[in-house]
Amino acid sequence: MTEAPRSAGAPPTGPLTDGTHRETDLGELGRMLSETHGAPHVGSGCTSSLSLDEVLLLHAAGLEPAAVVTGAAAATIPPGSWTWSQGQVQAADVAFAQAFGSARDQLRTQAHQLGAIGVVAVDIELQVAPHRYLVVMLGTAVRAATDEHGASHFGVRYPTPFLSDLSARDFVVLSRSGWYPIDLVGSASFVHAPRRGVGTAIGQARQNVELTNFTETLYAARELAMERIQQEIIRVGGTGLLDIHFVDDPVPFAGHVVRFVAYGTAVKLLATSHTHPDLQMVVPLDDPVISFDAAALG
């Protein structure tokens, strides 16, 4: 068993390192469908927001979906927070942190109650309103699959369920390389853009110029958010962040406030070294049809 996330352990074993390929006999599968048709069988059911391909990929990695889990939390932003001022909108930063943390805790609690080792493919919805920040998370809790002898084929033991917005495909590719997701991390920074002087605004009214106040504010917001997310990665025990998502634009109802929201999955190398995947090249034969536009000759 490989421990996560606190200590580096043995490289993953079992099906993750198995590169064999099995040819599929469709006729045999069809006959199987016929033979099993109508046979009642009730097992431990599951629900999953994953595609069928992702479920089967997880299956090959020794995992199976347990259930869809959700977390939603809204936190207050007091009135007056968006009034044009200077510096950070700290109330919005705090509201994001509270809502994101609470939604994340709800996911982890549900996963723990299900006996899952983690949650993959978490979809994150962020909504900012004048009086509150809302975060909704939805993902699929996964557990170690056991065979008919009760043996597990997943080689990593997490002390608490991990959370990840990586797809199941990304999870499998990542784990085959010796890396594993640790936790979802996110940070937000809202910063007031300073007003231009009246003279400057009038002087630039008919010019194509850079609005340096907004550019500098965007940089300031970026620095704050990225610094916080770095601290978050370290706090949860990760050594890196994958597939970061950004929201960097003015707040819809407060155009003078620039927001920079970043979130992604903190990861850590749990194997003794990175394993380079053995790749095979393929040439797909289903390229899109290129249509000829006769009008282009005219």
Partner 1 sequence: MAATEGRAGAFDSGLTTPDFAACLSMGLQPIGLVQGFFCGQLAGWSSYQAEVVNNYSCAWGWGRGGQDHPPPGWLGVASPLDQAWSTAFSTAHQRMAEEAAGLGAHGVVGVQVEMSHPTNDRSSEVHLWGTAVRLSGATGGHLWTTRIAGHKLAKLVEAGYAPASVLYSRCTAVMYEGCYMEHWGPNMVGAGTLLTPIGDVHNLARTRAMEEARRHAGGHSLYDVELEAHEVEGTTTYVTCQVLGSLVRRVRPTLPLAAPVATVSLGD
Find the binding residues for partner 1 in span 268-297 (CB under 8 A): 277-284, 287
Q: Which is nearer to partner 1, 4 or 92 (CB)?
A: 92
Helices (H), 114-211: 168-176, 198-203
Backbone angles phi, psi at 215, to 5 degrees: -60, -45
CB of 205 to partner 1, least distance (A): 37
| Residue 150 interacting with partner 1 (CB under 8 A) | no
Sign of CA dihedral 40, 42, 43, 47: positive
Interacting residue with partner 1 among 5, 12, 62, 155 (CB under 8 A): 62
CA separation, residue 270 to residues 8, 74, 149, 223 (Å): 5, 35, 27, 29
Stretch touching partner 1 by CB under 8 A, among 40-48, 180-188, 230-238, 243-251: 40-48
Interacting residue with partner 1 among 34, 86, 207, 208 (CB under 8 A): 34
Q: Which is nearer to partner 1, 45 or 159 (CB)?
A: 45
Q: CA-to-CA distance for 122 and 266, rounded, in angstroms?
A: 13
Instruction: Scan for tokens 């394993």, then name that residue.
Output: 275
| Residue 208 interacting with partner 1 (CB under 8 A) | no
Longest dimension (CA), the chain: 83
| Residue 203 interacting with partner 1 (CB under 8 A) | no
Q: Which is nearer to partner 1, 6 or 274 (CB)?
A: 274
Site for partner 1 in 157-176 (CB under 8 A): 172-173, 176
3-class SS of residue 215: helix
Interacting residue with partner 1 among 9, 11, 68, 236 (CB under 8 A): 68
| Residue 207 interacting with partner 1 (CB under 8 A) | no
Interacting residue with partner 1 among 2, 4, 74, 164 (CB under 8 A): 74
Contact between 246 and 168 under an 8 Å Cβ cutoff? The reply is no
C-alpha 212, offset from chain centre? 33
Instruction: Using alpha carbons, select from 102, 62, 243 the residue that is nearest to residue 164.
Output: 243
Site for partner 1 in 2-31 (CB under 8 A): 14-22, 24, 26-27, 29-31
Q: CA-to-CA distance for 110 and 160, rounded, in angstroms?
A: 11
Site for partner 1 in 236-275 (CB under 8 A): none
| Residue 87 interacting with partner 1 (CB under 8 A) | no
Interacting residue with partner 1 among 7, 85, 109, 146 (CB under 8 A): 146
